[in-house]
Amino acid sequence: MTDAVVAAPAQPRARTGFPWRRIGIFTAQLALLGTILATWEICTGIAWFRTNTFLDPFFISRPSLVAQKLYDWTLGAQRGFLWPHLVSTVGATLLGLVVAVITGFFAGLGLSQNRALAAVFNPFIVALNSLPRIAMVPLITMIFGLGLASKVVTAWFIVFFLIFFNAFKGGVSIEQHLINFCRTLGGSNRQIMFTVRIPNSLAWTFAALPNAVSFSLIGVVIAEFVGSTTGMGYLIVTSLATMNATDMFATITVLGVIGLVLVSVISVVERRLLHWSPEFRRT
């Protein structure tokens, strides 16, 4: 009688071909961006269109003027002007985001393991989450001043509940039969926490991070509207006071790039930490 040979399941082959799909998507994105900028430039340069307030370059500037302004701020006549404001905004955004993610994750995960305590805190959490974030900025500024602290606290207050609710949902959404199965295999509470509960809450938390990055940046910029002397929000307020549309659109462009870079970094970190997820195993 011959021994049976059990073949190991075939592993999916790694994709080694030329990344045509990515190149196609990137090309389409560039084409869309070029079309928008070209339309904007052409319409604001035609005299007939400029009679319309919406298309008057005094109010919406022009892409060529915005590009020239960004060059002046970085490499041209005003070299070095942008960097202190950029560092101030990005630093406060990252600090507020990190504090909010850490506190929101552990608060959500902790309360998800104690339903009685969660029920006690529920009305207070809902009440705090219902407060208008923008209306709280002057109060936060009064308490923490006009410096870095008020920016970080504003970003934290906006992002915390977003992270908290996702981490909490990740903690309570685990099927009980999965926990029972782990205990059947001899898993301790500590092992179940680190192999089941935390990874599940982490997956839910990362799902909220792209929005959390945007909200953190928004919170910092709003805080900079109120009396700050540095930051991208300060540049927006200054450009409004001087009715300088070019400066305002240049600042908005930089903010868009900041958000895009931060979300891209978060996506890379998510892929590394959640490599076990089916979402990333398929790609």
CATH number at residue 246: 1.10.3720.10
Would 33 be classed as within a structural domain?
A: no
Using N-to-C axis directions, what is the helix angle for 232-241 and 245-273, rounded to 10°? Answer: 160
Nearest to 214 by CA among 255, 254, 247: 255
| pLDDT at position 49 | 59
Percent of the residues in the chain that have a pLDDT greater than 90, as a whole number: 37
How far is CA 26 from each of CA 17, 23, 38, rounded to the nearest angstrom? 17, 5, 18
Would 172 be classed as within a structural domain?
A: yes
The total domain count for the chain is 1
Q: For residue 186, give its domain range.
A: 62-75+88-277
Residues 120 and 263 sit within 8 Å (Cβ to Cβ): no
Would 118 be classed as within a structural domain?
A: yes
Would 171 be classed as within a structural domain?
A: yes
Would 134 be classed as within a structural domain?
A: yes
Would 242 be classed as within a structural domain?
A: yes
| 277 — pLDDT class (breaks 50, 70, 90) | low
Would 37 be classed as within a structural domain?
A: no
pLDDT tens by residue, 222-245: 999 987 888 999 999 999 999 999
Would 233 be classed as within a structural domain?
A: yes
Lowest-confidence segment of 96-110, 140-154, 185-199, 251-265 by average pLDDT? 185-199
